């Protein structure tokens, strides 16, 4: 997502354009996109957690993180404010924090869900918005050889995956990388 590489006839799945157009696109970096309002609506309608909210419901959240690795446009939770460096919240923008208590901050771009059960609420949000099954591309394949003792040994796959034009990859698919050459998913 840091660069928008454009190659004619291909789609850069890490492009900002892809993330703007496909709401539920998820990858190994755990990205998705929801407004705080949508997350709040889910919590209030689908769970029993008592939530009080402060901040803007229009803030866009596109990933989650631990509090120790907090960054902009993320959702996180705080177990115990006394054990956290809350000054980190002054250096980021557009963050949703699920916590028991409201800290005193000058940064007004931070949204807060106040709840007696911040951990449970946080993981309910992750399960609902990110827990959906997705396709896996470039996982290690299933190559083995039999060693001198007759025991199967795993062979690591070192190459990649090449996805060519007009290919649709559905949910729950797994496309493994090649051992020494790319796995190629061809035209059509």
pLDDT digits (tens, 9 = 90+) for 88-129: 888 898 999 999 988 888 788 899 999 999 999 999 898 887
Q: Which domains does the chain have, with CATH numbers?
A: 21-130 (3.40.1390.10), 134-185 (no CATH)
Output 39 or 153, whichever has higher pLDDT.
Answer: 39
Give 133's contacts (C-beta < 8 A, 6+ positions apart). Answer: 171, 172
* Local confidence band at 182 (pLDDT 50, 70, 90 cut-offs): confident
pLDDT for 40 equals 92
pLDDT for 21 equals 42
Least confident of 55-59, 149-153, 161-165: 161-165
Give the residues across from 54 on adjacent strands.
112
Is residue 5 within 8 A of residue 23, CB to CB? The reply is no
pLDDT for 132 equals 63
Q: Which of 112, 82, 118, 80 is nearest to 96 (CA)?
A: 112
């Amino acid at each position: 997502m840091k660069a928008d590489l454009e190659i004619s006839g291909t789609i850069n799945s890490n492009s900002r354009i892809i993330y703007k157009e496909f709401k539920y696109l998820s990858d190994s970096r755990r990205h998705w996109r929801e407004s705080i309002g949508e997350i709040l609506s889910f919590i209030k309608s689908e769970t029993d957690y008592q939530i009080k909210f402060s901040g803007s419901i229009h803030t866009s959240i596109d990933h989650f993180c631990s509090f120790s690795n907090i960054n902009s446009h993320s959702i996180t939770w705080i177990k115990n404010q006394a054990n956290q460096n809350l000054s980190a919240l002054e250096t980021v923008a557009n963050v949703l924090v699920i916590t028991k208590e409201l800290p005193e901050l000058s940064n007004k771009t931070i949204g807060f869900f106040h709840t007696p059960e911040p951990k449970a609420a946080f993981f309910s949000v992750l399960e609902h918005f990110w827990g959906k099954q997705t396709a896996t591309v470039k996982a290690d394949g299933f190559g083995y050889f039999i060693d001198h003792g007759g025991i199967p040994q795993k062979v690591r796959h070192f190459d990649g995956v090449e996805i060519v034009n007009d290919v649709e990859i559905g949910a729950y698919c797994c496309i493994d990388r090649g051992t020494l050459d790319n796995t190629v998913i061809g035209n059509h």
